[in-house]
Amino acid sequence: MEALLTNLGLGFGVALSLQNLFYCFMGVVLGTLIGVLPGIGPVATIAMLLPVTFTLNPTSALIMLAGIYYGAQYGGSTTSILINLPGESSSVVTCLDGYQMARQGRAGPALGIAAIGSFFAGCVSTVIIALFAPPLAEVALKFGPAEYFSLMVLGLIAATVLAHGSLIKAIAMVILGLLLGLVGTDVNSGVARFSFGVSELSDGIGFVSVAMGVFGFAEIINNLEQKEQREVFTKKVTGLLPTWQDIRDSAPSILRGTALGSFLGILPGGGALLASFAAYTLEKKVSKNSANFGKGAIQGVAAPESANNAGAQTSFIPLLTLGIPSNPVMALMIGAMMIQGIAPGPQVMTERPQLFWGMIASMWIGNLMLVILNLPLIGMWIKLLTVPYRMLYPAILLFCGVGVYSLSNSPFDVMQTAAFGVVGYIWVKLECEPAPLILGFILGPLMEENLRRAMLLSRGDATVFFQRPISLTMLLIAAFLLLIVVAPVVRKKREEAFVEA
Amino acid sequence: MKITNGKDFWAGAMFIAFGLAFMLISQNYAMGNAVRMGPAYFPTVLGGMLAVLGAAIFLRAFVSKVAHPLAVFPFRLWFVVGGLILGVIAFYTQPLRDAGAMAQIAHELLAGLAIGLLFAAFGPRSLWVILFSVVLFGYLLKPLGLVLATGALIFGSAWGGHEFKVKEVTILFVALAIFAVYAFVKGLGLPMNIWPAFLD
């Protein structure tokens, strides 16, 4: 306990420095902004900003990028509630009851409870990270290559199980991602693989290009294909403070949402999106009058909004302790760490305590800023929603273009990103989820490396993965996950859960 | 046999193609053995798995209960053929390092046309207009500077949307160009020239 307090003290010392406060603020403002705006998500934004973080020191860079992710969870609810369009994919379920509340003239309390729930969840999950990350990192330090390989298998399987749509397509996308990740020079032999003699490709396909092409460009094209319909139902929000009755109604939901979200965020493949869906379903199950859901039940706003914020934050745990990303945003955070020359993994906590604890402390500060940004300043964000999309996407494209170009000051990266835009569009049309691909892409080289090492150490004996207890456990969990999804009963439920939402 | 699910059909075909391509190209590298894996080992195994999964998805297209038409998105076959032919020509006619500037430019134009055709083969008009303006931005940034490249991107991409209002887009362009110059070049110090290189 004492160690925890010393560590948090150190963290707040770092996070409260003027510079870090500024970048935290920038992060949460940007996060709220892109959260409010439909059609651009944290993945594309963080990808866009990665080149900018070159010039910052690592702690400030990560504090800002983290702020974008959890900030987007706050902003996303605003759009969901006011115009029935998810500003962020993790706010999809908030539309159901949030928009209904707005129609009944209760947009204020809906926004208020979303912010209060998010803030509560943010505080709790900050403490959870501080409590659980150190012991996990300790365990992770004992991991050998076999354990790491199995852990990655588990992470990737979990990511596919939790992706919506067809399981087999998701697995295929993971493998395709792993393969694309292998493009470039092989560290062991020095051979440039799959580069077709193109010198730019011998460094590998740029991660930013893939992420931005698939999540940024493809998104924009899809948005343009659908005719724009946006109606701000509530032009002026009054009475943001929920009544006592509202708070009493939603307090248990906030607690449940926070608990569930924190748990699901830690799981590989988890994060804000899954957390919000699960929380809504749970709330509907436990509620005494579940008929109210979809008709403006405040619990239907409180639970998923708390859960997505909790999940967004606790998904940093696997990143900070194991160096394994659990969702595309975390994959980008790994990219940001590597740009700064930090190898993600359990040693980050011991070798760079300022970075580790500074980032955790900044989350709490960031949450406080977000409440202020989102409640009194809500009018500003509503104004933003009246900006038509046709004015927005050229701006987004410009920022993307400048971002990719400045990665290595070459038009090749821009071309590559545009190519992934085309591919990303095709994937969307074929119902192939890109999120598992991104995870595979970042894990490809790591997985190969650990597989090689494990096999070398065991002298070619593949049973090593089953002989080591931790590795075996993880593989068993992975197999179990696959089995339960394939089982007809669960399969039906899973489809329902995604369709319903 | 009748294809019921067009999406599965194309997705399966794509995964099979990717899997086989990775396996085939891997044959150029050393395979090694299970103890000391060569650069070909992991991609060959993964490529095989991908091809098998792709085959399963492909077959599912015939038995699926979910019906999707075969035309999932706009597709122009002749553009692909043309793009591939031009691409092959461009690949084999790479000018030497000491070739004249005209030869270089001609080659880049050829390669650009090939890639443009491949982009334009898929999707709605907005797809290729927008992506092509982004690519243009990338290639114009150095010779023409940030402001003019931004102009190409903004006008090009706005033209790719549903509505194109010259006045509105011009205002947008001016605002974004000013912002970009101050934020990226002056603020963040990104190494970009603001005006065309030959004016400096």
Residue B114 makes CB contacts below 8 A (sequence gap 6+) with: B83, B84, B86, B87, B89, B90
Q: Is A138 a domain residue? A: yes
Q: Name chain B contacts of A217, Cβ cutoff 8 Å.
A: 130-131, 134
Q: Name chain B contacts of A178, Cβ cutoff 8 Å.
A: 46
Query: Looking at the predicted structure, is the pLDDT value of residue A488 above 80?
Result: no
Q: Chain A: nearest CA to B80, how far in angstroms?
A: 13
Average pLDDT over residues B31-35: 85
A301 and A77 in contact (C-beta within 8 Å)?
yes
Per-residue pLDDT at A500: 44
**Count of CB atoms situated within 10 Å of the CB of A130:** 20
Q: Is A476 a domain residue? A: yes
Q: Chain B: nearest CA to A456, how far in angstroms?
A: 5
Tokens of A122: 């943010």
B53 to chain A: closest CA residue: A172
Q: Do B15 and A402 touch (CB under 8 A)?
A: no
Closest CA to A411 of B106, B38, B135: B135
Mapping DSSP onto H, E and C, the string for A232-293 reads CCCCCCCCCCCCHHHHHHHHHHHHHHHHHHHHHHHCCCCCHHHHHHHHHHHHHHHCCCHHHC
Per-residue pLDDT at A420: 93
Q: Do A415 and B190 touch (CB under 8 A)?
A: no
Q: How many CA atoms lie within 13 A of A154 on its CB side?
A: 22
Q: Name chain A contacts of B171, Cβ cutoff 8 Å.
A: none
Q: Do A189 and B29 touch (CB under 8 A)?
A: yes
User: Which residue would you say has higher pLDDT here, A466 or A195?
Assistant: A466
Burial B95-106 (b: 16+ CB within 10 A, else e): eeeeeeeeeeee
Q: Is A47 a domain residue? A: yes
Q: Chain B: nearest CA to A86, how far in angstroms?
A: 22
First to last CA, chain A: 41
Q: Is A355 a domain residue? A: yes
> How many CB contacts within 8 angstroms connect chain A with chain B?
192
Query: Looking at the predicted structure, is the pLDDT value of residue A391 above 60?
Result: yes
A131 and A1 in contact (C-beta within 8 Å)?
no
Closest CA to A183 of B15, B39, B114: B39
Q: Name chain A contacts of B133, Cβ cutoff 8 Å.
A: 397
Q: State the average pLDDT for chain A.
A: 84
A50-104 confidence digits (pLDDT tens):
877 877 888 999 999 999 988 888 888 888 888 777 777 777 788 888 888 888 8
**Count of CB atoms situated within 10 Å of the CB of A203:** 13
Give the global pTM: 0.85
Q: Do B122 and A394 touch (CB under 8 A)?
A: no
Burial B162-200 (b: 16+ CB within 10 A, else e): eeeeeeebeebbeebbeebbeebbeeeebebbbeeeeee
Longest CA–CA span in chain A (Å) reads 70
A219-268 confidence digits (pLDDT tens):
888 888 876 555 655 556 666 777 888 888 888 999 999 999 898 888 76
Per-residue pLDDT at A269: 67
Per-residue pLDDT at A187: 81
Between CA A310 and CA A149 the distance in angstroms is 28
B168 and B155 in contact (C-beta within 8 Å)?
no
Per-residue pLDDT at B57: 92
Q: Is A158 a domain residue? A: yes
Tokens of A261: 């979200």
Q: Which of A1-10, A39-48, A238-247, A362-371 has the highest mean pLDDT?
A: A362-371
Q: Do B134 and A430 touch (CB under 8 A)?
A: no
With both helix axes pointing from N to C terminus, report the angle between A389-408 and B166-180 in degrees, rounded to the nearest 10. 30
Residue A480 makes CB contacts below 8 A (sequence gap 6+) with: none
What are the backbone angles phi and psi of residue B106, rounded to the nearest 5°? -60, -40
Percent of chain A with pLDDT over 70: 92
Residue A45 makes CB contacts below 8 A (sequence gap 6+) with: A30, A31, A34, A68, A72
B45: confidence class by pLDDT, cuts 50, 70, 90? very high
Between CA B181 and CA B173 the distance in angstroms is 12
Between CA B67 and CA B7 the distance in angstroms is 9
Average pLDDT over residues A403-414: 86
A23 and A63 in contact (C-beta within 8 Å)?
yes
Average pLDDT over residues A166-170: 87
Whole-complex ipTM? 0.90
A172-198 confidence digits (pLDDT tens):
999 999 999 999 888 888 888 888 877
Q: Hey, what amino acid is at A456?
A: L
Q: Name chain B contacts of A191, Cβ cutoff 8 Å.
A: 29-30, 39
Please list the residues that pair with A193 across neighbouring strands. Answer: A184
Q: Is A235 a domain residue? A: no
Residue B88 makes CB contacts below 8 A (sequence gap 6+) with: none
Tokens of A228: 């724009």
Between CA A79 and CA A382 the distance in angstroms is 8
Average pLDDT over residues A374-378: 80
Average pLDDT over residues A330-344: 85
CA A411 remoteness from chain centre: 29
Q: Is A234 a domain residue? A: no
User: Which residue would you say has higher pLDDT here, A500 or A122?
Assistant: A122
Q: Which residue has the tokens 């759009």?
A: A79
Per-residue pLDDT at A174: 93
In a mutagenesis test of the B interface, which of A149, A429, A459, A495 is the best target, namely the one with the most B β-carbons within 10 Å?
A: A429
Count of domains for chain A: 1
Tokens of A51: 């080149």
Per-residue pLDDT at A229: 59
User: Which residue would you say has higher pLDDT here, A39 or A56?
Assistant: A56
Q: Name chain A contacts of B29, Cβ cutoff 8 Å.
A: 186, 189, 191, 193
Query: Looking at the predicted structure, is the pLDDT value of residue A421 above 70?
Result: yes
Q: Which residue has the tokens 């569009």?
A: A425
Q: Do B162 and A228 touch (CB under 8 A)?
A: yes
CA–CA distances in Å: residue A141 to residues A147, A320, A356, A464 = 11, 12, 16, 19
> Which residue from A188, A191, A418 is facing B134, i.e. has the nearest CB?
A418
Q: Chain B: nearest CA to A191, how far in angstroms?
A: 7
Between CA A109 and CA A112 the distance in angstroms is 5
Percent of chain A with pLDDT over 90: 17
Q: Do B53 and A172 touch (CB under 8 A)?
A: yes
Between CA A491 and CA A184 the distance in angstroms is 38
Q: Hey, what amino acid is at A7?
A: N
Q: Do A460 and B34 touch (CB under 8 A)?
A: yes
> Which residue from A175, A220, A221 is facing B53, i.e. has the nearest CB?
A175
CA–CA distances in Å: residue B131 to residues A18, A53, A400, A420, A493 = 40, 25, 12, 10, 39
In a mutagenesis test of the A interface, which of B72, B134, B176 is the best target, namely the one with the most A β-carbons within 10 Å?
A: B134
Average pLDDT over residues B153-158: 91
Q: Which of A93-107, A316-330, B51-65 has the highest mean pLDDT?
A: B51-65
User: Which residue would you say has higher pLDDT here, A234 or B114?
Assistant: B114
Segments forming the whole domain that contains residue A438: 2-229+240-500
Q: Is A133 helix (H, G, I), strand (E, B) or coil?
A: helix
Query: Looking at the predicted structure, is the pLDDT value of residue B79 above 70?
Result: yes
Q: Is A492 a domain residue? A: yes
Q: Do B162 and A186 touch (CB under 8 A)?
A: no
B128 and B119 in contact (C-beta within 8 Å)?
yes
Between CA A88 and CA A116 the distance in angstroms is 18
Tokens of B37: 């894996």
Per-residue pLDDT at A495: 59
